[in-house]
């Protein structure tokens, strides 16, 4: 059994690297939209009332069970969100709103969903958490980690 430890580690490393950043793959939620209704793919919504600064909110379920809202704000390279871990049930709808003071790209790993951010304009990503697991949400240009999505 000890002789398998090295090859297993290599295979695990290859799978980890292959699952990293890349072009979006078919989405596990099966949905066509991922941003605000009517917005082009990867576009920001421009909606007012989005989070900014210390007022950034975290997971909540307004308007009904099964919908989790996550607000992320980025200012001067600092990520602000109510919680670094967001836990949802499989099948829940997750709405992520990200606002940055600089042009940035938000990426939710595992679901391979990306969102181009324009300075000061909130971008919204909506998905159904259909794949169980733990997924990192990060900002590509800065490399900053926004939060971890746990689907169970």
The CATH number of whichever domain residue 61 belongs to comes to 2.60.40.420
Of 85, 84, 95, 83, nearest in space to 50 by CA? 95
On whether the CB atoms of residues 99 and 122 are closer than 8 A, the answer is yes
Residue 3 resides in a domain: no
**Domain-located, residue 4:** no
10-residue stretch averages of pLDDT, the chain, 152 residues long: 49 40 40 36 34 37 67 94 96 97 96 96 96 96 95 95
What is the distance between the alpha carbons of residues 68 and 87, in angstroms, rounded to a whole number? 9
The answer as to whether 11 is a domain residue is no
DSSP H or E stretch at residue 7? helix 5-18
Q: Domain of residue 60: give its range.
A: 25-151
CA distances from 93 to 16, 87, 143, 146 (A): 26, 12, 26, 19
CA Rg value for the chain: 16
Q: Is 88 a member of any domain?
A: yes
E runs forming strands in 13-100: 67-75, 78-80, 85-88, 93-100
Question: How many structural domains is the chain composed of?
Answer: 1
Kindly state the tokens that stand for 100: 């940055």
pLDDT, residue 34, reads 39
Rounded to two decimals, the pTM is: 0.61
In a domain, 68, yes or no: yes
- The pLDDT of residue 2: 54
80 belongs to a structural domain: yes
Does 130 reside within a domain? yes
């Amino acid at each position: 059994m000890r002789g398998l430890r090295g090859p297993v580690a290599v295979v695990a490393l290859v799978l980890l690297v292959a699952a990293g950043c890349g072009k979006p793959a078919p989405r596990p939620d099966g949905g066509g939209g991922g941003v605000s209704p009517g917005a082009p793919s990867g576009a920001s919504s421009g909606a007012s009332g989005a989070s900014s600064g210390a007022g950034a909110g975290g997971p909540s379920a307004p308007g009904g069970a099964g919908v989790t809202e996550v607000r992320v704000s980025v200012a001067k390279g600092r990520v602000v969100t109510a919680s670094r871990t967001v836990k949802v049930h499989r099948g829940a709808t997750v709405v992520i709103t990200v606002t940055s003071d600089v042009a940035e790209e938000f990426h939710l790993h595992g679901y391979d969903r990306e969102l181009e951010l324009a300075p000061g304009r909130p971008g919204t990503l909506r998905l159904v958490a259909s794949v169980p697991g733990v997924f990192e949400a990060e900002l590509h240009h800065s490399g900053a980690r926004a939060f971890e999505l746990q689907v169970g």
